[in-house]
Chains A and B, each alone.
Chain A
Amino acid sequence: MSTATGKTKKITLRTADNQEFEVDEAIAMEFGTVKTFFDENPDASEEPIPLPNVSSKCLSTIIEYCKSHLAFRAHDSSSSVEDEAKAYDEDLVKAQDNESLKEVILAANYLNIKGMLDMLNQAVADRIKNKSVEYVRRFFGIENDYSPEEEAEIRAQNEWAFQGVDPDDD
C-alpha cells in the first residue's frame, strides 16, 4: 500500500509473546529483516509482521534504541552529539544483566540491525574482558572439553594472562 500523503506510515510488529507494537516506518526500516521483507514484497498487506524470536521486552528496548539513534543522526554530526549517543549506549547496556544482554543481542541479530549489533558486540566484549575462564564458559554456555592436564598446561603457558582477573562473584 502506498503511503498516504503527509502522514507517517506505521508498521505493526507482533512479538513472540503476542504483543503488538506500532512503529513509524522509519524505525521499522532500521531492522534489516523488515526492510528486506518490504523490499521484496512492496505490496505487502498491512498485517502485523510476526517476530517469533523476539520478546516484547527486547523489542521495546530495541525500538527505543533505534528511535534515539535516528534522532542523534538527524543532528549535524558533532562531538557533543557523538558523546551523547555514546552515553546513551552505555546507559542502555548498563541496565541489562547478562541474560537480558544476551537476549537483546540475539534479537538484534535476528532483526539484522547492524549498528546496534556492533555496539552490543563491543559491549559484551567489554563486560567479559577481565573475567575468568569459568565466567566466560557460563556466559556462553560452553562446555570445557579440555582434560585437567591439558587445561593446566594452557594456563601455565600463558600464566601472565591469568593475572589481574576479576573474581567471580556470581
Chain B
Amino acid sequence: MTKPNNDIPQDITDQILPCLPVKSLMRFKCVSKSWRSFINSPSFTRNHLERASSQEKILVSLPCGFKSLDLEKPFDDEAALIRLRFPSIELYDRIKILDSCNGLVCLGLGNDARHLFLWNPSTGDSKKLPECNVLQINSNFICNYCGFGYDSSSDDYKLLLKIDRKLVIFSLAKNSWRLHEALWPYYGCHTKGVYSNGALHYKFLFGTIFAFDLKMERFRFGPRRDASMLGRRRKLFGARETLYCITKDRNSMAVEFWLMDKSCSEESLTKVLSFPSFNGFCYFLNHFLCISKGNEFITKNGEDIIRFDTEGRVVEKIRMCNSPSWCEGCACTLHPRDAITYVETLVSPNRGNV
C-alpha cells in the first residue's frame, strides 16, 4: 500500500489556527503568504477572539513596566508572570490603566492621564489617540473618562468621555471624536462604565442602573428599583457577554452574584452564586478583577492580588511589588499599581495594519 498523502487540507488547517496563542500566530505569519493573509483577516481575528474570551489574564502596571499574570498557574510560579513591551513608555511619568475590551487596553498616560493610548499587550501594537478637539477636557481627566467598548454592528471600538454633562465619543474606525447630541442623564455620576454585550453600564443612586448602547448611541434605563435592593453595596462587573451585579445581602450578609440581562431591570436578575461574607469583602468589591476558569475570584487590594475560592477563602495572595520576578529593584513606592483583566487577541488598534 502506498504511503497515504498526509497533507492536511486547508479546511482543517483553518480549524487548527484559531486554537493557537497570539505569539505563535504572529510567528506563523512567516510560514507562507496565504497563512499571513488568513491570520490577518478580520474574520480570523473575530474567530480567534471568541475562543480567547474565556482565557483572561491580569495586566499589571508597575514602575518598571507592564507585566502579564497567567491565572492558570499559581501566583508564585515564575512562569506565571511575563514582561510586556510598550513603546514610548519612558516618555511618560505616570500611567493609568483605564479599561480593556477584546484584548485592547485603554491607557491614560501623563500626569493627568489625558494622553490616551490603545494598546494590545499580546501583539505589542499600539496607537496614540488624537487629542479631543471637540471639547476642552478638565484638568482631572479621570472624572471625564466614562468607558470603552465594542460595537459589533459596525465592528468599531468606542470610547466615551463626559465633560460636565456633555458627551464626547471617539470612534476607532473613524479615528475621530464627535460631540453627542444627548446629555449625560445625571449630575454627579462619576462611575466608569462596565462594558458588556455592546453597551456600557453604570450604576447610580437608589439602585438605578442605566446603559449606553454603543450601536444606537443612546441611553437605556432600567426601571427604578424597589426598596429591597436599596442600601446594598453593589458592584457591576462585565464578563464577556454577561453582566453581573455583586451585592451583599442585608440580612444574611452573604455575598451574592446576580446575572443581569439587557433590560437592566430588577426582574431580570438571577442569582447565580452565594457564599458567606468574609473579612475584606469591601476590598473584594472595590477591586474585583475576574472569575477565573476554576471558578475562583481574583481581586486586587492595594498592593496585593488575591485569589478567593467560592467559599470566600483566600487561596493565595501576592504582593505586587515584593518578589524579584515582579519588580526589578525599582525604588519608586509612590507609583500606583493598576491591575485589569484582559484577553489575548489579535485585535489591532491600528485599522488596516498588517
Alpha-carbon distance A146/B35, docked complex (angstroms)? 11
Alpha-carbon distance A106/B35, docked complex (angstroms)? 20
Please determine whether B29 and A158 come into contact, CB atoms closer than 8 angstroms. Answer: yes
Alpha-carbon distance A122/B6, docked complex (angstroms)? 18
Alpha-carbon distance A124/B16, docked complex (angstroms)? 7
Residues on B with C-beta less than 8 A from A105 are 8, 12
Interface size on B, residues (CB 8 A): 30
Residues on B with C-beta less than 8 A from A121 are 12, 15-16, 19
Alpha-carbon distance A99/B5, docked complex (angstroms)? 10
A161 on the B face (CB < 8 A) = yes
The interface size bin for chain A is 35 or more
Please determine whether B4 and A136 come into contact, CB atoms closer than 8 angstroms. Answer: no
Stretch at the interface among B20-28, B65-73, B216-224, B320-328: B20-28
Main secondary structure of the interface of A (DSSP, over half): helix
B136 on the A face (CB < 8 A) = no
- 22 A-B interface contacts by CB (under 8 A): A16-B1, A103-B4, A106-B9, A109-B11, A125-B16, A126-B19, A129-B21, A136-B28, A140-B7, A140-B13, A141-B6, A141-B7, A142-B32, A143-B32, A146-B30, A146-B33, A158-B27, A158-B29, A160-B85, A160-B124, A161-B26, A162-B27
Considering the complex, give the chain A residue whose CB is closest to the CB of B7: A141
Q: Interface residues, chain B, CB within 8 Å of chain A? A: 1, 4, 6-9, 11-13, 15-17, 19-21, 23-24, 26-36, 85, 124
Considering the complex, give the chain A residue whose CB is closest to the CB of B35: A142
Residues on B with C-beta less than 8 A from A141 are 6-8
Residues on A with C-beta less than 8 A from B9 are 106, 109
Residues on A with C-beta less than 8 A from B24 are 125, 128-130, 161
In chain A, positions 110-162 with a C-beta closer than 8 Å to chain B are: 117, 121-122, 124-126, 128-130, 133, 136-137, 140-146, 151, 154-155, 158, 160-162
Residues on A with C-beta less than 8 A from B27 are 133, 158, 161-162, 165
